[in-house]
Every structure is written in C-alpha cells, then in structure tokens.
Amino acid sequence: DAKTTQPNSMESNEEEPVHLPCNHSTISGTDYIHWYRQLPSQGPEYVIHGLTSNVNNRMASLAIAEDRKSSTLILHRATLRDAAVYYCILRGRYKRGSQGNLIFGKGTKLSVKP
Amino acid sequence: KAGVTQTPRYLIKTRGQQVTLSCSPISGHRSVSWYQQTPGQGLQFLFEYFSETQRNKGNFPGRFSGRQFSNSRSEMNVSTLELGDSALYLCASTSGTSGTLYYNEQFFGPGTRLTVL
C-alpha cells in the first residue's frame, strides 16, 4: 500500500491561508488522495478528496501536482476551529490480501494562533 | 440522518477479560471499518466489512475479531485483553457498492475508549 509523508506540525495565524503539503511518490494510477482531520477528542472527519484534478468544497481546496506525487490541502482562511491533526491518505481499488483501506500516517498537527 | 453510533463510549476491563464493542453505521451504508488509535501508534486499521463479509484485515493478532450483521451493524471482539489494548476504537461507515468504496467518504463515530487495567 502506498505511503504518504507529511510534516509533523505547522502553525498558522487566524484568518490567513494555510497550505498543508503531502508527498506520495509511490501513488498508483487509481489511488484517490483523501484528506481527513481529527479535532481534539473527536473521531476523524472527511475534508476533501481527489484523483487528478484540483478540487474545491466548502471546507477546503485540494491542489494535486501534475505527476500526482504530491498534493496540498489549502484552507483559505484558518480559524481557531481548524486546529486539528490533518491526515493525507491514499486509497486504491480493493485488492485481495492488501489492507486497501485508509492507512493513516502520523498526520500534520496544525496550530492556529489568534 | 443519524451519524455513526458506537456503544459503549467508555469501558474499563482487566487483563485477560474479553470485550465486545458495537457500531451502528449510517442508514444505508453497507461498509463498516474499524480502527485502533493509541498515542504511540496513531490510527491503525483493524478490519473492514461489506455486506457481512470481511474484505480487508490489518496487522493485528487473532485476538481481534469482528463481524457484521445483515442490518450492517458491526461488532468487534477482543479476547484475552492486554494492557496494550487500551485505546480509542473507532468505527467508520461508507456508502456505495464494493467497487466505489475506495473513493467515497468515510464517516467516523465518536469511538469507544477502552482502558485495560
């Protein structure tokens, strides 16, 4: 199963944009890039996902490199509520014998300063 | 729609005992996955069920088992508890068919906090 690499922590100021990077050099052609975040004392929650093209939703934007070996989660205006651990995960088609599921790394702990 | 529910929310057991945790997915979701979260190892995948069949299994000993019922509710069981089994156990459900699960969103429950003394 392909792995992802993220910085351990990042800091941002409130109301400023945040760019959270993720490297996934072993991504395969059918792997989707998912981002989840986990607020303190809660289960993870979905943020966004994409395959090849950049994606936008109400929470964030996902910028995917042309070679798909890296991606960036963009929070356009960080708020204090965005302080969480952000996980970048690859998920591919089901293959018997593989974990095939959401393999969470350590994630990036985002701190937001007022 | 109600979210994913897990019971109980908190549990205290002693070494050697066994425990059963329950997860009710979002209505209409046929896939349920289980994860273990500890401070040292982070979030680790345990197993995934789809329509009562186990599709994937993580690298955990056989003491960890699970099942899924026809109404998609799932249980996981840990036998012969060890201190290292103390963790937050998370359940997640996913909508879609077996071929679309990998690009659909997973919805997580609040977790069951298990403490083994």
Written as one letter, the residue type at B74 is S
- The proportion of chain B whose per-residue pLDDT surpasses 70, expressed as a percent, equals 99
Residue B73 · residue B6 · CB < 8 Å? no
C-alpha angle B112/A73/A5, rounded to 5°?
Answer: 70
Question: Quick check: B108 and A91 CB within 8 A?
Answer: no
Question: Quick check: A91 and B90 CB within 8 A?
Answer: no
Q: What burial class does residue B33 get, using C-beta atoms within 10 Å of its C-beta: 0-12 exposed, 13-18 middle, 19+ buried?
A: buried
Give residue B18's pLDDT: 98
Give residue B83's pLDDT: 97
Chain B residues with CB-CB distance to A98 below 8 A: 56
HEC assignment per residue over B5-64: EEECCEEEECCCCCEEEEEECCCCCCEEEEEEEECCCEEEEEEEEECCEEEEECCCCCCE
Give residue A71's pLDDT: 96
Give residue B38's pLDDT: 93
Q: Which of A94, A101, A107 sits opposite B33 (nearest CB)?
A: A101
Give residue A84's pLDDT: 96
d(CA B104, CA B102): 6
SS3 (DSSP) at A82: helix
Query: Token pair of B62, please?
Result: 């056989």
Name the residue among B8, B37, B20 with its Cα closest to residue B79: B20
Cβ neighbours for B73, distance < 8 A, ≥ 6 positions apart = B22, B23, B24, B25, B32
B20, pLDDT greater than 60: yes
Query: Best mutation site among A101, A102, A104, A108 for testing chain B: the one with the most B CBs within 10 Å?
Result: A101
d(CA B6, CA B25): 9
Give residue A1's pLDDT: 56
User: Under an 8 Å CB criterion, which residues of A touch B?
Assistant: 32, 36, 42-46, 49, 51, 87, 91-94, 98-107
Q: Give the pLDDT band (50/70/90) at residue B41.
A: confident
Question: Quick check: B45 and A51 CB within 8 A?
Answer: no
d(CA A68, CA A46): 20
B35, pLDDT greater than 60: yes
Q: Which of A32, A45, A102 sits opposite B45 (nearest CB)?
A: A102
